[in-house]
Amino acid sequence: MHTQFAHIEPFGCDKPQTRRGHERRLALLLSGSELFLKYGYDAVSLDDIVNHAGGSKASIYKYFGNKEGLFTAICDYRRDLFFKDICVPFDPEVSDLKSYLIDTLTNFYTHMIQPENIAFLRLIFERIQKDSQLAEYIHEKGPKHIQAAIANALERGAKNHKLKCDDPLASAQFYFGILRNLEWQILMGIKIQETDQETINYITYCVERFLDGHQKV
């Protein structure tokens, strides 16, 4: 773990050792997520979360350290769910690179337009205005992580002599720019006029042009 993120995961927090412990921790995560989404971070107390989930505040201190630690754990939990079928390693024996890149952005878009995911992203943006270290942590574990996965796929494509890619990470960042306008529309609450099929057609077109720019000449 990077030292600048030390406060993100408080020292002394226990990991559940029993099934009951895992269930208790998950209940706190789910209750905290629900209440934060419904009322906002600042309006929710640890007592509110305990009353909703059951148990005692001792469990929060035991598993998360404090309210900030609980929120960070919720971010980790929701991130894992969000990226479960997005940030997957590229396997050329399973999928060609074009299909992999199209599927990644399509899955990203599908998750991104879910109302609960939109609400939580807005909640994160609200929180990181007050906590720069949390912002760095979220960026490290989210955008940078998935960019690295795409960079690795592009690097493998270059090693197989199927494309030219001198800077895979820069190309990965460029690739995710395909959805940037849609992201802003979603986060700003602007209604997307395009149908899902039109969006998929747009993604396909952009990925094809992206790969055209990486063809060997």
pLDDT tens, position by position, 37-91: 999 999 999 999 999 998 889 999 999 999 999 999 999 999 998 888 787 888 8
DSSP string, 113-125: TSHHHHHHHHHHH
Please tell me whether residues 177 and 97 are part of one structural domain: yes
Which of 9-13, 17-21, 90-94 is predicted least confidently?
9-13
Please tell me whether residues 34 and 129 are part of one structural domain: no
Please tell me whether residues 62 and 124 are part of one structural domain: no
Environment class of residue 127 by beta-carbon count within 10 Å: exposed (0-12), middle (13-18) or buried (19+)?
buried
Task: Please tell me the predicted confidence (pLDDT) of residue 55.
Answer: 83
Residue 170 lies in a domain: yes
Please tell me whether residues 52 and 137 are part of one structural domain: no
Structural domain of residue 176, as residue ranges? Answer: 85-217
Rounded to an integer, the average pLDDT of 14-23 is 82
Residue 3 lies in a domain: no
Task: Please tell me the predicted confidence (pLDDT) of residue 13.
Answer: 67
Residue 17 lies in a domain: yes
Please tell me whether residues 57 and 128 are part of one structural domain: no
Give percent above pLDDT 70 in the chain.
93
Q: Is the pLDDT of residue 2 over 80?
A: no
pLDDT class of 159 with cuts at 50, 70, 90: confident
Please tell me whether residues 66 and 138 are part of one structural domain: no
Please tell me whether residues 61 and 94 are part of one structural domain: no
pTM: 0.85
Number of structural domains in the chain: 2
* Cα gap 129→79, rounded to integer Å: 19
Please tell me whether residues 65 and 89 are part of one structural domain: no
Given a contact cutoff of 8 angstroms between Cβ atoms, the answer to whether 3 and 133 are in contact is no
* Cα gap 131→158, rounded to integer Å: 39
Residue 4 lies in a domain: no
Residue 114 lies in a domain: yes
pLDDT averaged over every residue in the chain: 89
Given a contact cutoff of 8 angstroms between Cβ atoms, the answer to whether 36 and 74 are in contact is yes
Residues 6+ apart with CB under 8 A from 113: 186, 192
Query: What is the domain-level CATH number for residue 58?
Result: 1.10.10.60
Mind listing the pLDDT tens digit for each residue in 173-212? Answer: 999 999 999 999 999 999 999 999 999 999 999 999 999 9
Please tell me whether residues 107 and 166 are part of one structural domain: yes
